[in-house]
Amino acid sequence: MSFFGVECVRKKERELERKLRANDREYNLPFRYATNAIKTSKYNPFTFLPLNLFEQFQRIANAYFLFLLALQVIPQISSLSWFTTVVPLVLVLTVTAAKDATDDINRHRSDKQVNNRKVQVLIDRKLRSEKWMDVQVGDIIKLENNQFVTADLLLLSSSEPLNLVYIETAELDGETNLKVRQALTVTGDLGEDIEKLADFNGEVRCEPPNNRLDRFTGTLTYAGQKHPVDNGKILLRGCTLRNTEWCFGLVLFGGPETKLMQNCGKSTFKRTSIDRLMNVLVLCIFGFLAFMCTILAIGNCFWELNEGSQFTVFLPRQDENSPRFSAFLTFWSYVIILNTVVPISLYVSVEIIRLGNSFYIDWDRKMYYARNDTPAEARTTTLNEELGQIKYVFSDKTGTLTQNIMTFNKCSINGKSYGDVFDYTGQRLEITGHTETVDFSFNQLADPRFIFHDHALVEAVKLENPEVHAFFRLLALCHTVMAEEKTEGELFYLAQSPDEGALVTAARNFGFVFRSRTPDSVSIVEMGKQRSYELLAILDFNNVRKRMSVIVRSPEGKLSLYCKGADTIIYERLHQSCSQLMDVTTEHLNEFAGEGLRTLALAYKDLDEAYFNQWKQRHHEVSTALDDQEGKLDELYEEIEKDLLLLGATAIEDKLQDGVPQTIEQLSKADIKIWVLTGDKQETAENIGYSCNLLREEMNEVFVVSGNSPEDVRQELRNALTSMKPEEDSVLLPERTLGKGVKVIPDEVVNGDYGLVINGHSLAYALECSMELEFLRAACMCKAVICCRVTPLQKAQVVELVKKYKQAVTLAIGDGANDVSMIKAAHIGVGISGQEGMQAVLSSDYSFAQFRFLQRLLLVHGRWSYLRMCKFLRYFFYKNFTFTFVHFWYAFFCGFSAQTVYDEWFITLYNLVYTALPVLGMSLFDQDVNDAWSFQHPKLYVPGQLNLYFSKKAFFQCALHSGYSSLVLFFIPYAAMHDTVRDDGKDVADYQSFALLTQTCLLFAVTIQLGFEMSYWTAVNTFFVLGSLAMYFVVTFTMYSDGMFLMIPSAFPFIGTARNSLNQPNIWLTILLTAILCVLPVVTCRFLFIQLCPTINDKVMFKVRQAKATPPPPPRRTRIRRTSSRRSGYAFSHAQGYGDLVTSRRFLRRPALSRSSGVVHAGRTTTSFSPMGRSAGYSPTGRPQNTKVPDVEVTSLQMYRTIRDPAL
């Protein structure tokens, strides 16, 4: 532990291999392995103050004001008291330190909560309850069901047969499907015998700590034997034990060395475009400040040479200072006086505004998702205004646009389509929540939550149609699902993918109930009869095969191969006799695809016993071969999976989230471009694109880039560019340089709407340096872009590409661990707390439960935050420049002596008291139009994308306006008081009276200007404005009173000035005149601009006034009708290798309960399976899904239009 409270490991040689011994802390101690305590906090009570101050003074503004404070303690150059800088600086440091302390206290609490969790550790031959933080490498610990895994463990034994454990890794990799781990046989024999476990002294040699989640290499040496250890025997910290009573594990890595902590990484510090612009402007202000001080110093030198020499008789120079040295001192004196051009309170106010606007997001009930009790959350307070400037949205598909809940909707069996409902005239009916559902009461094992509407399919099952029975028999046998039945009749499935769960549940309800499995058998109930099939082989799924098969022997001894997979793959392997059936099924598949459904083809073949025995022998030989095992297995699979007979096809719906089409339409109207980056296959992603209104049939063309070589991809991109802009040479890329040689690709206008779909392998070529600009140019010309089969790294690369070459703000939104890299890469990351764990949310800047809330986040909260921040900055710079420039003009009348034009107390309180609350009120409550009008007119969002509200141009306009106002504020009071007397004939043209008049005029002028800036007056705003003016007069009369002067004469020299000056009519007339002259140009310019060239804001606000501020009627949510013949291939979501586990005798549950023919309905909500909707819905997290079924448009095969694929 270092002094600064940052946990670190002592300097030692880089660990190349980890060596440890079980149950031997003395042996492991010299290696100095990390303990299991984690530390994410930055400070402790002793280091907080020095560390925090050190960090704060690394900010240029704080260091600048500390430098000013140092100048102010030098008497020769300071004309201001030290408290004018100390008070604001201390306030800023205190507020920031309090915020940092609060954040760190929360981190301490989180660390403490995790570190103090209890786990049973085997110490001195007894199980003791210990804190997580006290667990050490080499300890043996016991975990129980539903417990978090404490550290990275080598699994030793478990309660399950064959020493299996089931884990959920949602917090680690976003996957909610259960995974299986198995202990070595040699350690599995230890069981839960404490004596045997305490005597276990195995030694482990393994890889050093790293962040690879999918790999592990090591060996266990025990009883003189070496045993290999791979990833299948490791439990990682962050996982949760499921459906396993207990297990024992040996700690390999603890705390910061676990793979979970190694993967945390450091998020890049995100800054808004306004922050970056502010840095540039502050540097410009520093330069301008130096310029003004130089002019005044030169003026002082000339004044000392010409005029000052005449005063030396009365006021001798100290230490015989020369005019040049006097000018040098004057330069630094004016640096102090004019420092308010960069007010320190600016930074405090910005933080308060951002914090307030973040609370609005947290408190927004319209972004609260009641079903999951999930509110919207602003996880950062520094990026709010950037939400109003988004140009590109990068979105995941599954779980973000869709619900990741699969429902069995339709199927085609032997050339007949099922799933639609027709009336007596043969017209297809729209399925609604009131449509009659199928009665499954004939099947006592049916899941009551499964809903289907087409009675014809049930009738076909009851009539024992052989093709229909074979169809559902295939679905009940060809899968890797595990069934669990802890009590009689309560059956639920543990599926590796939601698709599998939906298909097996569909078969279950139609009378073919998968009941249980062993490594060599599958038991199903066929129409009430128990049957057991011998499982001879599983031909596993992988991304190349895109299919899986099982070979089974029926109770009658018949050998069959059942296969399911992507329709294009299955069609290539069908027997020629299926050609006619294939044509009809293809027509059905096109219809299913037109509705955005995920399709799957089913086929089978009967096998000859002799041929299969010979094939199985070769399969065994290849399985034990060391060279090219995978390739040889694929050849064997190809050999047997041919001449198949087609049974039909299934159609599964990955339901869109509520409001997705409407949200995308609104964002498109706001000129926000949406790119979908998904790991799903092209056909599925493309059809979901049409379903959610991202791609439209009305588009001029949708380009498909699917080249398999760099030359093909380049040509396809150039063809797309030529089609969109035929008059230009597509090779020539318009560009300009933006700092450090980075080329910026400007936006190009094309006639028409276009879309772009690109595959993952083509994207890999398109992202190469030689082609990335062509890809970016083509993609940015399109209204919508879909990237399919992309890896998490490619998602981040696409985001980085747009950030690098486009002057635009990007937002990435996703719900899974595979979206984390994209979320971190974008300017703003949004996490959806959905079906794929919380990893995306934990890495995000903002989070909520539904994609549809994105339009409110951007079009309302984002736009308001940007508008408020820009108004705040414009006004803040105006009021402070005006305040400071008056000093500049006064210098020419005070002999460049660095005398202040205002009272010192006014200088101190101007930004902290007199003008702080009114501008904060505007920045927290102002809105040009309400949220309803913001949705009614999405184009209101466009000015933010173009930086129209605050830019360098707007800044210099503020500076010019301030220069004019400062001239008015100085010379009007100066002229009004010149040679003027009071009513009683006494002189009022003294310095203190002039200072009071000038500062009063200034305060009225900037307050009236604030009133013109505000569009939305509330009681709070009004109170702040009037209250601040009242506070000024209260403080002024108090400070200038006799009592204060008598208490501290040196601090309150303006005795009686307020009551002597402010009772004169000409003073108030001067205040009125200066206020009118200051705001007159603003009123004139705004009137002319509104009349001659009104902005979109002006037009909408005029409509609002016409409507007398009544909210517009809510926009009609038009139903999106999908008509297309595009084909959707089934997006198989298996992981390779699961089939091998099923058949390897390592995947065996407890013996199932004895069964009888009569079983009660299974209606239990489980942790892994929740059908919903109008068909089987499989949810990997198992939350109850009692959603209302959305309306489905009536579709007909004749309604679909053929679309020519542009890639052909």
Q: Which of the 8 DSSP states describes residue 860?
A: I
Which helix (H) or strand (E) segment holds residue 544: the answer is: none
In this structure, what token pair is assigned to residue 805? 């070459």
In this structure, what token pair is assigned to residue 49? 């103050």
Q: Which of the 8 DSSP states describes residue 734?
A: -
CB-CB neighbours of 398 under 10 Å: 25
d(CA 92, CA 348): 6
| C-alpha separations of 660 from 399, 402, 688, 853, 854 in Å | 12, 8, 11, 9, 10
Q: Phi-psi bin for 1062: left (phi > 0), alpha (psi -120 to 50), beta?
A: alpha
Active site residue 396: yes
Backbone angles phi, psi at 1101, to 5 degrees: -65, -30
Backbone angles phi, psi at 777, to 5 degrees: -65, -45
Residue at 614: amino acid letter: Q
| C-alpha separations of 832 from 16, 141, 168, 585, 836 in Å | 39, 35, 19, 37, 9
Contacting residues for 484 by C-beta, under 8 A, at least 6 apart: 243, 491, 492, 493, 494, 1149
Residue 576 sits at the vertex; the CA angle it makes with 570 and 581, to the nearest 5 degrees, is: 70
Q: Are 248 and 183 contacting, i.e. CB atoms less than 8 angstroms apart?
A: no
Three-class SS of 116-134: CCEEEEEECCEEEEEEHHH
**How is 439-450 classified by DSSP, letter by letter?**
--TT-TT--TT-
Of the candidates 922, 877, 873, the residue with the CA atom closest to the CA atom of residue 350: 873
d(CA 335, CA 294): 10
Q: Are 360 and 861 contacting, i.e. CB atoms less than 8 angstroms apart?
A: yes
d(CA 887, CA 296): 11
CB-CB neighbours of 1123 under 10 Å: 15
CB-CB neighbours of 1172 under 10 Å: 22
Q: Are 757 and 703 contacting, i.e. CB atoms less than 8 angstroms apart?
A: yes
CB-CB neighbours of 464 under 10 Å: 10
Distance of CA 1176 to the CA centre of its chain: 30
Backbone angles phi, psi at 605, to 5 degrees: -160, 150
Which helix (H) or strand (E) segment holds residue 482: the answer is: strand 482-484
In the chain, count of helices (H) and strands (E)?
40, 38
C-alpha distance across the termini of the chain, in Å = 65
Of the candidates 548, 598, 580, the residue with the CA atom closest to the CA atom of residue 410: 598
SS3 of 1189, please?
coil
Find where tokens 């926009």 sit.
1115
Q: Are 1166 and 1089 contacting, i.e. CB atoms less than 8 angstroms apart?
A: no
| C-alpha separations of 645 from 331, 605, 637 in Å | 93, 6, 16
Distance of CA 772 to the CA centre of its chain: 25
CB-CB neighbours of 319 under 10 Å: 7
d(CA 591, CA 1122): 10
164 has which bridge partners? Answer: 182
Pick the catalytic residue from 396, 540, 819, 926: 396
β-pairing, 492-494 vs 482-484, is: antiparallel
- Annotated active-site positions, please? 396
